[in-house]
Amino acid sequence: MAHLVETMAYAGQVPWHGLGTAVDGNMSPQEMLVAAGIDWTVSKRPAYTVDKPNCWNIIDPTGEAGFIRAPDAHFLVRDSDNKVLSHCGDGYVPFQNAEVMDFFKKFTDAGQ
């Protein structure tokens, strides 16, 4: 899975894959988000498909192709560059990286 790592940071030993930026182990959650390159947000966006077979090209000079909403289908998209990260259903609630870091702060503050 190391091939899927875009950016990351670590404190202490270098990870087995050798990727990432070494940082001080005493950073705030916000500082770590920036150092790790994950200070971005995601949004859940509806999924659509073309309404005609073999019409994969969005540019349709005839104007005959349209889109249909895929029921219970969404994409999780990074807001900074519109990169599709995953697909998800109606019930999925995305968590932001900052929310996750804040959640774990109480554990790191306790030394765990």
Please tell me the chain's helix, strand, coil percentages from 3-state DSSP, rounded to the nearest 5. Answer: 20, 25, 50
> Could you tell me the pTM of the whole model?
0.79
Query: Which candidate, 9, 15, 6, places its Cα nearest to that of 29?
Result: 9
Which DSSP string do the residues of 12-49 spell out, in sequence order?
Answer: SSPPTT--SEE--S---HHHHHHHHT----EEEEEEEE
Q: Which helix (H) or strand (E) holds 109?
A: helix 97-109
Q: Is the confidence at residue 63, as pLDDT, over 70?
A: no
What's the pLDDT tens digit per position in 4-23?
A: 788 899 989 999 988 999 99
Q: Where are the domains of the chain?
A: 1-39, 41-94
Q: Is the confidence at residue 64, as pLDDT, over 70?
A: no
CB 97 within 8 A of CB 78: no
Q: What confidence score (pLDDT) does residue 47 get?
A: 96
DSSP letter at 52 equals S
What's the pLDDT tens digit per position in 39-57?
A: 999 999 999 988 877 666 6
